[in-house]
Structure 1
Amino acid sequence: MGQNRPMAGIVTRLGAMLSLAVMFAFVKLAGEQGVHVTESLFYRQLTAMPLICFLIMRSQHGWPSIVSNKHKLHILRSTLGIFAMGLNFWAMTLLPLADATTISFTVPIFATLFAAIFLREKVGIRRWTAILIGFVGVLIVVQPGGSLIPAFGAAVALGGALVTAAVTMVIRMLGRTETSVVTIFWFSVYTLPALTVCAFIYGGGHDAKTWAYLLGIGIFGALGQLGVTQSLRYAPVSTIVPMDYTSLIWATFFGIVIFGQFPGLSIWLGAPIIIGSGLFIAWREHVRASKLTVAKAEPSA
């Protein structure tokens, strides 16, 4: 199935963002019931595993497709990935949903910065400008020294964005030879044993409501993961990435309706700046990729 169904890709991505927003709402609800972050992570990964196995069986090459010679990178991706997911889950329990979601939008800013520093990718003046503007948005949201947002929660959220940006670099390296489903499979394989131990240590008996929250984390996390993966089969990244920012709409809605948390003025001022920076970086990445494709095709033209 080629990337020739943009509307299907957009709709699928929108559904994925809604699913992930619901998952984070359940993460926050579970946290309020005293559920440890590692237990939420365990059920998130455990529920996703059957879905991943189903996708592998449905793939063209089936189970032989999971064979990989990049296990060092898979282990690195899994280590960084579980820390990133843990910090992001933790941030959702410490901050209002809209605040934590807004700070998470700094991932493309950090990813571009890391690519320039560690992968030696050429970053032009336009993207550097977008990075600087994005950080201005972060300062508006976080307001160091005078913010209504808890400093510790903001630090956890920024830490989650930083580690997630590092994960994107490793995934880009894996993407040269591995499919997204294979990468997700090994992520689950390498993280579930440690999470099982953590769930045994920190988990415990829960009432029916709390178990429903944990089930919701697993189901909507798996649906969101499936939607994100499937959307990439329908349309190019440049077409669907802007849909990711709709998660702020859902985070704001759930924050108000479920938790009675209204976004402060700093969110209304800073979020558009961060989102605009991320969209511009995504657009420049698309332009850069298009130029590279044309350059590679010219010698054989």
Structure 2
Amino acid sequence: MVSSDRLLPAIGLRLLSVGLFATMNAAIKLAEVNGARLGEILFFRQFGAALLVTAVVASGPGLASVRTQRIGAHVGRAIVGVVSMAFTFAALLALPLAEAATIMFSTPIFATVLGALVLGEPTGWRRWSAVALGFVGVLIVLRPGGHSIPLDGALYGIVAALLTAVVFILLRQIGRTERAQTTVWWFSVLSLVPLGIAYMLQAQAHPLATWACLAAVGLFGGAAQLAMTSSLRRGAVSVVVPFDYSSLLWATGYGWLLFGTLPSDTTWIGAPLIVASGLYIVWREHVRRREETRSALSEE
């Protein structure tokens, strides 16, 4: 059982990361409104993260702590991560904030499917039922054949959720030998190579307000990543991940205050189904791991 002196900081850091990521997402849309292009936004997101993560590592355990024998795995994770981030940001630019956040809630659903198909993880009828419920929620939000949200933005969001689930699978495999801090650092640094090229192709002059938005994307994104990683060091995934769904409140608030948009009726109907599906999947994963631990202990 996790003690409260570790549990509360873990939850607090997770909530902080949710707020920071939501602020980053709002800055992304503001940067685009003020003339920034997708390649520029992506570069500044990772540039800011790389600076913050490097500073934290250097001031703590030192840069020697990120040495790795699995550079190939980190390169693969960086490639999938950059493509996933590009689709995520494209969805944010094409959709209202609340709808983009809601579609990204389907990531645990895709992760469950991939875990069963790729890793051979046991997935019983309960979790498959939760997966089906989640996809029903996604369909309600998308409202096929209707005019609820732009089709291109919906497709960007679904691909982003799928690729983010692939990243989760890769992180599980890398995490068997690498510390989270090492993985975050290598992703931040390696991703600057392709994003630096994209930036050079799209770089342009901007007014001060746009530069401020781009800087905010990098700083808030880097700080959010550090807070999220720190939360996982203090609390189990099953404890902290459910608080990610509070991002819908942030997205709704920022959407209304900054862009004058509110979630559609279908989003209010579909979002609870997606959230319920994700929460149940996280809970069942927690139960499964607890049963595996008990079984392993009983065999000793």
TM-score (norm 1): 0.96
Separation in 2, partners of 1:93, 1:34: 12
Percent identity of equivalent pairs: 42
1:243 Cα deviation after fit: 0.7
Q: Which residue in the other structure is 1:37 paired with?
A: 38
Deviations 1:44-73 (A, max 9, x none): 11111122123323544x333212122221
Please give the alpha-carbon distance, in whole angstroms, between the structure 2 residues aligned to 1:19 and 1:89.
15
Q: Secondary structure at the match of 1:5?
A: helix
Separation in structure 1 between the aligned mates of residue 234 and residue 116 of structure 2, nearest angstrom = 29
Provide Cα deviations, 1:70-123, integer angstroms capped at 9, x if missing partner: 222111110000011111111111000000000000000000001111111110
Q: Show the counterpart of 2:111.
A: 111
Alignment of 1:1-301 (within 5 A): 5-60=6-61, 62-300=62-300
Gaps of 5+ in 1: none
Deviation at 1:36, TM superposition (A): 1.4
Deviation at 1:254, TM superposition (A): 0.4
Letter in 1 for 2:299: P
Cα deviations by residue, 1:207-230 (Å, 9 ceiling, x for unpaired): 000001001101110111011011
Q: What SS does the aligned partner of 1:295 have?
A: helix
Greater CA deviation, 69-78 or 242-251? 69-78
State the Cα deviation string for residues 231-272 of structure 1 (Å, max 9, x = none): 112211111111100110000000011100111100100000
Distance in 1, Cα, partners of 2:220 & 2:64: 28
Query: 3-state DSSP class of the match of 2:129?
Result: helix
AA paired with 2:202? Y
In 1, are the aligned partners of 2:34 and 2:209 still within 8 Å (CA)?
A: no
Q: What is the distance in 2 between the residues matched to 1:25 and 1:212?
A: 13
Instruction: State the AA in 1 paired with 2:177.
Output: T
1:5-46 alpha-carbon deviations (Å, 9 max, x no partner):
111111111011000000000001111122111211111111
Please state whether the residue corresponding to 2:146 is helix, strand or coil.
Answer: coil
Question: CA–CA distance in 2 between the matches of 1:67 and 1:296?
Answer: 32
Partner letter of residue 116 of structure 2? A
User: Offset of 1:293 from its aligned partner?
Assistant: 1.3
Kept in 2: contact 1:55–1:181 (CA 8 A): no
Inter-partner Cα distance in structure 2 for 1:255 and 1:277: 25
- Name the Cα RMSD after superposition: 1.3
TM-score (norm. length: structure 2): 0.96
